Each structure stands twice: as C-alpha cells, then as structure tokens.
Amino acid sequence: MSENLTSALPNAEFAGFVALREAGLQGMITLRGDLGSKALSKALSEATGCALPAQRKITTKGDHALAWMSPDELLILCPHDKAPKLVVTLSKALSGEFATLANVSDARAVFQISGPGWRDALAKISPVDFSTLAPGDLRRTRAAQVAAAILVDGPEEVRVICFRSVAQYMFDLLKTATAPGSEPMLYR
C-alpha cells in the first residue's frame, strides 16, 4: 500500500468560537445487511468489541466504533490502517449472511469540532434541533448543500463526516459558521 496516504485536508485548523480541525485519516467501513441477524451482531462484536448500536446511536470500544446509519446500514469506525484487514475478517465471518462490506475510508473526510458552542455552530448550517442530541448520538442531515453525518462524541466534542470530494466546501462552511464573535447563543 502507498506510503503517501493523506487525509482530505491534512492539518487544516481554524480557531473560532469553537476549535475546528480536520481529524486526519480515519478507517471507515460501510456494512449493509440485516441488522436483526444474530450472526451479524456476533461477527461484529468479535471483530470490533462493540455491541450493535440502537437506532441513531454509536457504540464505542477502544479505537473501534459502530454507528447506526439507517435500518440496514452501519458505519464501522476503526484505525485507518486496520480497515482493509477488518473488511476481510468480517467478510469471512459473514459469508452466507445477507450483508455486504465496503472500505470507504478514503471516500470521506472527518472534521472535529471541540467546544461548548458546537450546537450553535452547527445550527447555522443544519436544519436540526441540536438540543435533542446527546453524547453517543448520531444524526445524518445536511450541512448547507451537502450531506453530513454528525457524531456526538462528548458534551463538547463532535465529529462531522462528509464526502471527501466536498471536504474543502465543508471546511470553508464550518469556518464561516464558527467565525469568532458570530455565535448565535441559541443553546447557551
């Protein structure tokens, strides 16, 4: 594998009323299948250590996480270099099951937002009532004109995942939304 792997916008950072940075390389695997299947949840917990997440939730164990994306789709988060192997492991464990896997690590970009004002920042660009989101929640929505998934990691810590092709758009958008002094104070 190439040694020159880079994330979408390496080391991109911005200090607004919240801290914004590109999160770097992140392993991501899309799993589509019957989430009610016992074999599937067993294979996942053996490979990642995470329990199957409930609707719109994330379960985390160490550096692995499972995120509920839709009634038949999970996003598996893992270290970037472990993703190809994890796909192979899971494909073997799920052979014969109604499930498909795809390593989408390099098709996405991840941004990290830290600070108590993250709700105010994201409320400017997404049609979501952010008071309903708590740590461990996931919300798929749009950020201005592009699709985004918002992962709430902690009370003041969220990640925004978007397609890599719109990473620059997303970064510029988040920069504008988090510009110092532009906090709408909706949630504080």
Partner 1 sequence: MLLLTCPCCGVTAEETEFAPGGEAHLKRFGPGSADEDYESYMFNRKNPRGVHFERWRHAYGCGKWFLAARDTITLEVFGTYPAQTTEPPAEIVEKIKDRRPDWEGYA
Q: Which residues bind partner 1 (CB under 8 A)?
A: 55-56, 69-71, 73, 127-128, 139-142, 147
Beta carbon nearer to partner 1, 141 or 182: 141
Rounded to the nearest whole angstrom, what is the least distance from the CB of residue 129 to partner 1 in the complex? 8
Beta carbon nearer to partner 1, 87 or 150: 150
* Token representation of residue 84: 């190809």
* Token representation of residue 172: 């510029």
**What is the spatial distance between Cα 114 and Cα 162, in angstroms, rounded to a whole number?**
17
Q: In degrees, to the nearest 5, what angle opens at C-alpha 31 toward C-alphas 26 and 37?
A: 140
Rounded to the nearest whole angstrom, what is the least distance from the CB of residue 56 to partner 1 in the complex? 6
Beta carbon nearer to partner 1, 72 or 172: 72
Type of residue found at 137: D
**What is the spatial distance between Cα 131 and Cα 124, in angstroms, rounded to a whole number?**
14
Rounded to the nearest whole angstrom, what is the least distance from the CB of residue 4 to partner 1 in the complex? 33
